[in-house]
Amino acid sequence: MDIYVGQTKARWCLHSDLLSYHTTFFQTEKQKHSKIELLDEDPEAFELLVKWLYQGKLENVSDMPADKKWDYADSCQKLYTLCDRINIPQLKNMAIDQFRRGCNEAGLVPGPEEIKSIYDTTPPDSPLRKLISQIAARQIMDPEGECDAASYRMCFEGNADFAIDLVAAIRVSDFRYFELPERAI
């Protein structure tokens, strides 16, 4: 089965029986269209999908050199959204685990552009949204951090879900409360 991925339309020729074993998405698409195009998907994320299909595993971000961890974490985040679209829950769970671990080990977190993209491409009940809103809440509430709520303006605009999820993440977290001043200034 030929599948074209990304803006460059990278061509992948994969065994249809293998694809069908893991998801009905590709067979359904093949019945609707003469060719399968996933032009909004990331080619590196699709490559991770193909490796998993043929090898049954993802690489462990903990085994990678430090300078590769963030790029791999980012690809795993995009793999998560791909798996959400094509309905492969087992790989989706593995992808979010590698994403979380990669962010932690790289010492980096998604910025507003990545967060906006995640909110634009995932459903409201997505576990990835919950994780991302927790990360953003932590960034905003960190008194030594460089991010404040204004840093996430592009995420708030046109997407009330992010604002709601962010407030919910702050409310349930164990961030320290700021002491109220004894008198008004």
Summarised one tens digit per residue, pLDDT across range 28-79 is 998 888 889 999 999 999 999 999 999 999 999 999 999 999 999 999 999 9
pLDDT of 154 > 60? The answer is: yes
The pLDDT value given to residue 54: 96
The pLDDT value given to residue 128: 95
The pLDDT value given to residue 184: 43
* 8: confidence class by pLDDT, cuts 50, 70, 90: very high
Provide the edge-to-edge strand list for the sheet that holds 10-13.
10-13, 2-5, 36-38
**22-36, 104-118, 144-158: the lowest-pLDDT one:** 144-158
User: How many other CB atoms sit within 10 Å of the CB of residue 70?
Assistant: 19
Specify burial of residue 95 (Cβ count, 10 A radius: 0-12, 13-18, 19+): buried
pLDDT of 115 > 60? The answer is: yes
The pLDDT value given to residue 177: 46
21 close to 53: Cβ distance less than 8 angstroms: no
Instruction: Tell me the pTM.
Output: 0.86
Residues 6+ apart with CB under 8 A from 35: 2, 4
Q: Average pLDDT, stretch 93-122?
A: 93
State how far the alpha carbon of 155 is from the alpha carbons of 124, 173, 182, 185, in Å: 14, 20, 35, 32
Here the contacts of 99-103 (C-beta below 8 Å, separation 24 or greater) are 99/73, 99/74, 99/128, 99/131, 100/131, 101/61, 101/62, 101/73, 102/61, 102/69, 102/70, 102/72, 102/73, 102/74, 102/76, 103/70, 103/73, 103/135
Average predicted confidence (pLDDT) for the chain: 90
Rg for the chain (alpha carbons), in Å?
Answer: 19
DSSP letter at 39? T
Where does 87-143 have alpha helices with state H?
89-106, 112-121, 127-141
pLDDT of 174 > 70? The answer is: no
